[in-house]
Structure formats: C-alpha cells, structure tokens
Amino acid sequence: MTSKQLTVLSFVLILLCTSIPKVKACLNGEHFELTNGTILYVDRDYEVPEGHSFPERKRLLETLDELDSLYNATRNISFLSDKGLVLILLERYQQAIGLYLKIERMQPNRYSTASNLGTVYELTGQNIKALEWIKKSIEIDPKSHHQSEWIHVKILEAKIRGDEKHTTQSLLGLDFGNGKLPISKMSKKELETLRYSLYYQLNERMSFIKPQDKIVAQLLFDLGNVSMLLRWDKVASEVYKQARRYGFLHPDLDFRIKESRRLYVKEVRAFNKANAIKEESNRLLYYGLAMLGLVAIGGGFVYLRRVKIRSIR
C-alpha cells in the first residue's frame, strides 16, 4: 500500500472514530462489608438518597452469632466492633452502647467506636453525648464520611439548642434566597462538594429515620436546591418529592418540582434533537465516503482501461 493510500485510510478511520457516540460513565454506588465478609448494604448511585437497604432480621441475628464465634476464636477486635453495628441495626441500642464503651476501654481512639457511639447516642436522644463522640471521631479521622461530618455536627447542635424551626441557615449556615427558584454565590465546585456531602449524610440518616422528620425534610429541600443550581434537573425533581414525603412545607415546593421536571424534559428534547442531527450528519458522512469510494474505484477502472489500450497499441 502506498503512502498516499495510507494517508487516505488514516483520515477515514479518524472520521469514523470521532463519529462514534461516547458513552457516559455512571457511578454504581458503594458497599459496606463487615470483617467476616457479610455485605451489609449496597447503594445504587450517588444521586437521590433513599437510605441503605439492610439484610432482614433473621440474617442479622445469624451474623451476630457468627461475629461472636469469630471474636472468641481470634480475639480480633474488629469482629467485636462489627457486632456493635449489627446490634444498632437490631435496635438493641443499650447493648451497643455498652459494647462500644468496652471496646473504647480495650483499645482507645478507634474511629469506628467514636462514630458508632455518636450515632447510637443520637438514636437514643442523648444528643450532648452524641455530639461529643462525633466530634471525637472527626478528630481521629478528619476525612471520614467523605468529609461530610460537619453537617452531622450542625444537626446535633441544632437539636441541642432546641430549634423548633429548622432552616438552611440553622443547619448549614447557608442561604439559597427567598425567590421562586434557589440562588447562590457558591462556585460550581463548592456546590458539587456540598451536594455530595448532603447526599452522604441524608443517605445515612434515612437508613434509620423514616418519614416524617423536620430535619431530614429541610436537608432534602436543600439538596434539591443544590441539584437544581447544578442543573441536575431530574435529580432535583426527585429529591424535592422526597422532601415533601418527609413533611417539608414551602410555598414554592410544588413550583420547583414542576420547574425542575420541565427543565429536564427540555434538556432531554434538546439532547435528542442534537443526537438526531449528529446521526443525520454521520449518515451523510458515510454516504459521502461511499460515493468517494465508488468514484475512486470507477476512476481506477478507467485508468486501467486506458493503460491496457495504450499497451495494445
């Protein structure tokens, strides 16, 4: 094959490759695995918080026995710590507290001990103790929970103050305005970080707290606002609905649900239209390439015929 032919072939391949539609990667969520290999939950995505789906009670009881046996056989404290987590899921809160305090005496300053004590104390309404242990867990590991535990601290502080009305300002120290649609001076990167922190904290809380709940409702509304500001319109619509399910009341909530849905439909239509134009362009490109190929083949035959005729003469 000549250098000229290789150049033409390379050009055609580039055209074909750049015309192939790119597939957007998606996140498949995360899972939590106990030390004995038991999968405690698997999350589907990082978009709309729904809470973790834990194993049924029978399986949790079996896991509890298995963790006991493994700890007795190995004296690995991680099995004991996991046992405390399963006790929380079984709503045996006092047993869990006693176990984690024992672990703290055996091996002080474990992150999982401080974090889980903070959770179980909050679940039993002991918010001052909960705040102490959550703050300690942050000191042990500032990057824990994807650096979102500052929201947990804010929630506990609001509970301790006894706030009757929870707002964006009281829970997050932020403001999204009072208009029909949310506004913010935060950068896109700041909004993205906030969105994930809110998602993570809400997904944790919604695993234990079912509708209705004022704090969860307010934070869901805030997550909807952040999602809308980022133009995650479909997510915003679903999160706003979750806020309503958790008892959130706001004069503009229904409007924001409808508006985010309208923007999502508009975006889908624009995407489909652009896709149709791209597909038509690709079709014309392939047709043009085919015609060029036919012309080149026809020209080759004519050239060969002329060479043959000359050789006969």
The per-residue pLDDT for range 131-144, each reduced to its tens digit, is 999 999 999 999 88
Higher pLDDT, 257 or 10: 257
Domains, the chain: 28-142 (1.25.40.10), 165-313 (no CATH)
CA distance to 99, 272, 291, per residue, from 2 (Å)? 78, 42, 22
Of all residues in the chain, what percent are helix, strand and coil, respectively (each to 5)? 70, 0, 30
pLDDT tens, residue by residue, 54-93: 999 999 999 999 999 999 999 999 999 999 999 999 999 9
Kindly state the percentage of the chain with pLDDT values over 90.
64
Interhelix angle 111-123/127-140, rounded to 10 degrees, is 160
Q: Which of 104, 111, 67 is nearest to 89 (CA)?
A: 67
CA-CA distance, 102 to 251, in Å (whole number)? Answer: 49
CA-CA distance, 96 to 117, in Å (whole number)? Answer: 8
Which pLDDT score is estimated for 21?
A: 32
pLDDT tens, residue by residue, 106-125: 999 999 999 999 999 999 99
Which pLDDT score is estimated for 274?
A: 65
